[in-house]
Structure 1
């Protein structure tokens, strides 16, 4: 199983060219993926649908640039909604 977004992909998305914050960015990737996995009930991988991978990147961006520590799902709701499993 591979991560839904690699560190390299995230750094390109964030336009980060240095290695000084690699650990922070990886932590944000892991947290964002866990947040979305918990919400949709799926395990994300590098082969996951593009909207789910983009949602991970967007949560990483918000946390990295804005310092949001709770990763609200609302900004990526439209991308993840179609992938939610029905819970009874």
Structure 2
């Protein structure tokens, strides 16, 4: 299974051109992927649709912002709307 978002993709999205924070960014990608998987009730991989992959990137960016303003709350709201069509119904 391939990752939904690669380190290279995330660094481009974050506009990070150095390698000093690669470990942090990789951890944020992993955490964001787990969060999206929990929200959708399914696995998230490289075959995921664009809105799901974008949700991983957006949550990664919110984590990378390190609490600047209310970016985390905005990211959660954006992600919820993008993921709504992909949520599995649980009974």
State TM-score, norm by structure 1: 0.91
Question: Structure 1 stretch 55-64 or stretch 73-82: which is displaced more?
Answer: 73-82
Q: How far apart are the structure 1 equivalents of 2:54 and 2:33?
A: 10
Q: Which residue of 2 aligns with 1:86?
A: 89
Q: How far apart are the structure 2 equivalents of 1:21 and 1:66?
A: 13
Q: Which residue of 2 aligns with 1:29?
A: 29
Q: How far apart are the structure 1 equivalents of 2:42 and 2:66?
A: 27
Once the two structures are TM-superposed, the CA of residue 67 in structure 1 deviates from its matched residue by 3.2
Once the two structures are TM-superposed, the CA of residue 39 in structure 1 deviates from its matched residue by 1.1
Q: How far apart are the structure 1 equivalents of 2:67 and 2:34?
A: 18
Following TM superposition, the consecutive aligned residue runs of length 4 or more in structure 1 with deviations greater than 3 angstroms are none
Per-residue deviation, residues 45-65 of structure 1 (Å, max 9, x unmatched): 111000000000000111101
Per-residue deviation, residues 5-40 of structure 1 (Å, max 9, x unmatched): 000000000000000000000000000000010111
- Within-5 A mapping of 1:61-72: 61-67=61-67
Matched, 1:6 2:6: yes
State TM-score, norm by structure 2: 0.88
Classify the secondary structure of the residue corresponding to 1:17.
Answer: coil
